[in-house]
Structure 1
Amino acid sequence: MKSVLLYLHGFNSSPGSAKAQQMAAWVAEHRPDIEVAIPAQPNTPAAAWSAIEQVIADLKARHGSALRLGAVGSSLGGFMATRVSELHGCRAALINPAVRPHELLCDYLGPQTNPYSGERYELLPGHMDELRALAVPVCAPERLWVLQQQEDEVLDYRKALDEYRFARLSLECGGDHAFTGFERYPAQIIRFLGL
């Protein structure tokens, strides 16, 4: 079997985000047998999902039935990782995941600049329709682990508690949207993902 960790970053983020790099560094040091894929997702939802699907298709083409996939997603990446888990039957760890992002991101409509890439684009009402279309019901909560901090200043943690109520849940007091102290979790995440 070939184990692959797929890390999905959040809205206006990149493969250079702190959690993505912490995860990749831990794997490189402790589990170099695991391939790490951290795709740079386009800034709009349908294009981001298309890029994620292409990465998974390439992994399946290279590894075939030997592929053992596990996903990690932060914020909007958690929303996308939920979709990956449901459509591809793998486990996923969701870090402060976005729930109903088509409602959340309505507050961000208009011109945007990705702080990592410097790319400028416009978030449009049609992109909210794309997010709505990408939503999937959680049918296999046993494949999901939600890591949530109560003081997330961007997302209401209670929405995640409701959406993922039958999944494994680690709820911490304090913290923030970036998930303070994430470096405590890579080993546990890899074990949960079965990689």
Structure 2
Amino acid sequence: MTTTHLLYLHGFRSSPQSNKARILAEHIGSRHSHVRWWCPQLPPSPREAMALIAEGIATWPRETMAVVGSSLGGYYASWVAQLARCKSVMINPAVNPARDLEKYIGEQTAWHDPEAHFFFRPEYIEELRQLDTRHMTPAAPEMVLIAQGDEVLDWQEMSERYPHALQLVQEGGDHALSNFAEYLPRLDDFLLLA
């Protein structure tokens, strides 16, 4: 089924202004303008973020929607894919953010706007645990883009987390997947973006 609705979820401290979000938004707008695109600014609370998403996609057609997520957004994308039973693409996804983000409890700045501050609360760690889908069978096809040179997350952990996914593992690279634009044709094929 051709994808008609596409959700993009940014990572921790990130925003819809991230390089990948902008590249994908421009690609959808210029090549697939019939596709409904949504890339919301996610609140720091995982529970609130998923409530926002669930409400936003409530009327979307499950059989023709898909979700793409990067880093923490990849972790969220796996949860959304279970909720909606839709295709998902994870880009250098966080595998265990409840473990990895504990050291970030406290005041944080937004990556794309250092003037913007938010507080990452201790209770958000438990909220992250509540969204863990590691032990669930994928509800729909998955694709994962992994850079072995990711300086933030362990690429082997990512690969092991998604054994059923179509895995595109590149040598080198970085957490931001700076060469993301090179993967757009593969995304088009996987998501059946006509």
Per the normalisation by structure 1, the TM-score is 0.90
> 1:100 aligns to what?
96
Query: 1:145: Cα distance to partner?
Result: 0.4
Query: 1:115: Cα distance to partner?
Result: 2.9
Within 2, Cα distance between the matches of 1:92 and 1:12?
Answer: 22
Q: Percent identity?
A: 36
Match for 2:83: what amino acid?
Answer: L
Residue 121 (structure 2) pairs with residue 120 (structure 1): no
Match for 2:153: what amino acid?
Answer: L
Residue 38 (structure 2) pairs with residue 37 (structure 1): yes
The alignment's C-alpha RMSD in Å is 1.8
Match for 2:129: what amino acid?
Answer: R
Within 2, Cα distance between the matches of 1:95 and 1:76?
Answer: 9
Answer yes or no: is the 8 Å Cα contact 2:88–2:140 preserved in 1: no
Match for 2:85: what amino acid?
Answer: G
- C-alpha distance after superposition, 1:108-147 (max 9, x if no partner): 1111111335432221221100000111234127611010
> 2:27 aligns to what?
26
Query: 1:11: Cα distance to partner?
Result: 0.5
Answer yes or no: is the 8 Å Cα contact 2:44–2:119 preserved in 1: no
Q: For 1:91, which of 87, 90, 112 is the aligned residue?
A: 87
Which runs of 5 or more structure 2 residues have no equivalent in the other structure?
none
Instruction: Give the stretch that moved more between structures: 183-192 or 92-101.
Output: 183-192
Match for 2:123: what amino acid?
Answer: G
Query: 1:21: Cα distance to partner?
Result: 0.6
Per the normalisation by structure 2, the TM-score is 0.91
> 1:149 aligns to what?
147
> 2:7 aligns to what?
6
Q: Report runs of 4+ in structure 1 exceeding 3 Å deviation.
A: none
Equivalenced residues, count: 190
Within 2, Cα distance between the matches of 1:9 and 1:45?
Answer: 12
Within 1, Cα distance between the matches of 2:108 and 2:83?
Answer: 30
Residue 75 (structure 2) pairs with residue 74 (structure 1): no
> 2:53 aligns to what?
52
Answer yes or no: is the 8 Å Cα contact 1:138–1:164 preserved in 2: no
Within 2, Cα distance between the matches of 1:52 and 1:101?
Answer: 19
Which runs of 5 or more structure 1 residues have no equivalent in the other structure?
none
Q: What SS class does the counterpart of residue 188 from structure 1 fall into?
A: helix
